[in-house]
Structure 1
Amino acid sequence: MTTKVDTKLRKMKIIEAPGQSDEILVIGGRDCPQNVVKFNTKTKNWSKMPDTNIDRSRPSAVNYNQQILLMGGWQGSTYYNSVEMLDLNDENPKWDSNLPSMGEKRGLFASALLNGLVYCAGGYNDTDRLSSCESYNPEERKWSSIRNMNKKRGQLALVSARGLLYALGGGVSNCATNTAECYDPRNGKWEYIPPMKTCRYGLTAVVLNNEIYAIGIKSGGYDGSKYLSSVEKYNLDTKTWIDVPSMNHLRCGGSACVVDGLIWVFGGYGAKTVEFYDPATNKWQVSTNMDSERNFPCVLSI
């Protein structure tokens, strides 16, 4: 049976480049898990968007040509594999829960777009951290398992660049890791790349100018309290990690996206600030404050 959501997804042209508008969607976060707002990077104005259908802590999200897929997360001790979508092309958008569920329940995982598919990797379920990965084909409305990562990773980052997926950092064996690996969909294999200079979990990452930026977030063991403002980037040509100037604020659980050639970072424990990095000046600058502290929000250019 063909649904309204099915028809929309089949007609979509999937866009994997950073947003070209001036707006960023900020979804959820601690103390406001169903709350969604839109931020204009030029005017610095915030506007309210429809709340999500269910309370999701630590989900992940991607943007399919202005159609937002919000996946997984948890509430209390209940982990989700469900998915809901907000179609920003509609005049009066609302979250629609009529989408296929992921194969695995996940929270504190990461997702990315690659070659017209949604990929989800790692995270936690109600028993353990995960190495498992899966992809979603919107044409077939079907989730499929792909090969596991080499390590179980919770609170990792996942980005796509040059036809590959890159999984960075995360929590491994009760401590943060600096290891990173990439997935080639042509041969279905995960292979290690040079490790980051710093161990990071709860990090966020973006791709800008053919470089991968690993931003924040926490170093040391799970019982540690060392939040990070440090940033490093991976050059895809030289395959080396290079230090980048640190953010203005320490952040654990912040999220980032790219708009108009700038990296924008939102929230994290103890940080209501929004700041951006300009590669032309090689500097971070505080832009404004959020209305509330948001830890592990989903942040998407739209």
Structure 2
Amino acid sequence: MKLVYVLCGLLSFQLMAGTLNWQRKADLLIPVQEIYPAVFQGEIYVAGGLSSELPKQQGQMTDAVQIYNAKSNTWRYGPALPEGRHHGQLVAVKEQLFLFGGFTQANGGNWSASADVLKLDLQQQRWLKVASLPQPLSETVSWVLEDKVHLLSGRSPATEANGQWQDQGDVAIHWVFDPDSLTTVTAPAVPQAKNSAAAVVYDSKGYLLGGRQVQAGNKADVHSFDAKSQQWLALAPMPEAQAGLASAVLNGRLWALGGEFFQQGGGVFSKVWAYSFTEKSWQQQGDMPIPRHGLGAVVMDNSIYVIGGAAAVGLKQSSAVLEELTVVQ
């Protein structure tokens, strides 16, 4: 693997990214954080999640699948997961919906990493286990490139123990899952082991940004990956080192939203950052009305939908907030 570096300063855009318009939409049925939502059949799906509002005896996690219809501005419940699960990666590909890994309540704890690959069976209206990953994986992120699912970074058991948060270690995993054969192969590893990053696709390339290393804290790194050349490319780092953030691509720019930090008592990031792919630079574009971490973001109908999360560091103040973000040029 060849790693190429591009050095870019923090420059002003020649053209402003536009004015942000935030609109509050219908609240989730259950406030959840540590979610990775997906757009499937024209609706937003949120599968599982953690919540400070759920009972400790169930690990403060849920098996609920919440579905949002933008036309009616309503949520409804879909087929529940086989068990409560959080930090699972939900991905829509080739008119199918998969959930990869995540943490479940097992092995004496609430942070047992799973190797499950679940698929929503639309005819039976239930989730089926259709494959297993090479090893348990959680807090990962994903791209879909050429109808294949790329799973990147995250946490996996560091020893034989697998029940507690501290049993897990950061990984530089890069796997490619084929939804047709239900098989997983290894691709060039991400440049550094980390978890709680964000990922998007733009112009047939994948972008991986932010995240954290348990021992070293938040990361500001941004890398792109070209599936054809199999090369990673280092881009202009984020202005702030953010983890537990969400990201999306809209109007030809990469948007970074939220996240948390732990220094000096900790907090939640409020600034909205936009990255210009053409100028290779970042610029702040206002602030989030309700800053959160562990949130999700998806693009649908030329809007970014910003979903759930938590308004305080850790498992506190889990949010049911859904906002639609549009950019007025």
TM-score bracket relative to the smaller structure:
0.7 to 0.9
How many correspondences in the alignment? 260
* 1:174 to 1:33, Cα distance in 2 relative to 1, 3 A: farther
In the alignment, the residues of structure 2 paired with residue 264 and residue 94 of structure 1 have an alpha-carbon distance, to the nearest angstrom, of 26
1:84 aligns with 2:118: yes
Residue in 1 that maps onto 2:98:
69
Give the partner amino acid of 1:93.
Q
Query: Cα distance, 1:32 vs. partner?
Result: 4.2
* TM-aligned CA deviation for residue 243 of structure 1: 1.3
- Quickly say closer, same or farther: Cα 1:103–1:278, change in 2 above 3 A: same
Distance in 1, matches of 2:40 and 2:188, equals 30
Q: Which moved more, 1:247-256 or 1:133-142?
A: 133-142
Matches of 2:248 and 2:238, distance apart in 1: 15
**1:59 maps to 2:79:** no
Residues 190-214 of structure 1: CA distance to partner in whole angstroms, max 9, x if unpaired? 2211101111000111112221111
The amino acid across from 1:102 in the alignment is: L
SS at match of 2:156: coil
Tell whether the 8 Å contact from 1:57 to 1:74 is kept in structure 2 after alignment: yes
Deviations 1:80-128 (A, max 9, x none): 111101144x3x521111x221223211110121111100001111221
Q: Is the 8 A contact 2:172 2:189 kept in 1?
A: yes
Q: Could you say what the CA RMSD is over the residues aligned between the two structures, in angstroms?
A: 2.0
CA contact (8 A) 1:19 1:260 kept: no
1:101: which partner in 2? 132
Q: Which residue of structure 2 lines up, in the alignment, with residue 50 of structure 1?
A: 79
**What is the percentage of aligned positions where both structures have the same residue?**
24
Deviations 1:120-152 (A, max 9, x none): 001111221011110012233210011111111
| Alpha-carbon distance in structure 2 between the residues aligned to 1:138 and 1:48 | 25
The residue that corresponds to 1:112 in the other structure is: 143
Measure the CA separation in 2 of the matches of 1:51 and 1:167: 30
Paired residue for 1:136, among 177, 196, 214? 177
Q: Displacement of 1:18 after TM fit?
A: 6.6
CA contact (8 A) 1:18 1:259 kept: yes
Runs of 5+ in structure 1 lacking a partner? 1-16, 282-302
Establish whether residue 229 from structure 1 lines up as the match of residue 266 from structure 2.
no
Residue 10 (structure 1) aligns with: none
Take 1:32 and 1:71, find their aligned partners in 2: how far apart are those partners? Answer: 16
**Other-structure match for 2:324:** 276
Q: Which residue of 1 aligns with 2:251?
A: 209
Partner SS for 1:135: strand
Code of the aligned partner of 1:96: L
Aligned twin of 1:123: 154
Question: When the two structures are superposed, what TM-score results if normalisation uses the length of structure 2?
Answer: 0.74
Superposition pairs of residues 136-155 of structure 1, within 5 angstroms:
136-155=177-196
- 2:39 and 2:272 map into 1 onto residues whose CA distance is 20
CA contact (8 A) 2:94 2:147 kept: no
Structure number having the greater strand percentage? 2
Give distance in 1, aligned partners of 2:47 and 2:148: 21
**Contact (CA 8 Å) 2:61, 2:86: kept in 1 or not?**
no
What is the identity, as a one-letter code, of the residue corresponding to 2:225? Y
Change (3 A) 1:131 1:180: same
Report how far residue 20 of structure 1 moved: 7.7
> Under a length normalisation based on structure 1, what TM-score does the superposition of the two structures give?
0.80
> 8 Å contact 2:88–2:139 — kept in the other structure?
yes
CA distance in 1, matches of 2:39, 2:285: 20
Superimposed CA distance per residue, residues 275-297 of structure 1 (whole angstroms, 9 cap, x where no aligned partner): 1211126xxxxxxxxxxxxxxxx
Pairwise CA distance, 1:236: 1.3
Confirm or deny: 8 A CA contact 2:296 2:308 kept in the other structure. yes
Q: Distance in 2 between matches of 1:18 and 1:24?
A: 5
Q: Which amino acid aligns with 1:61?
A: L
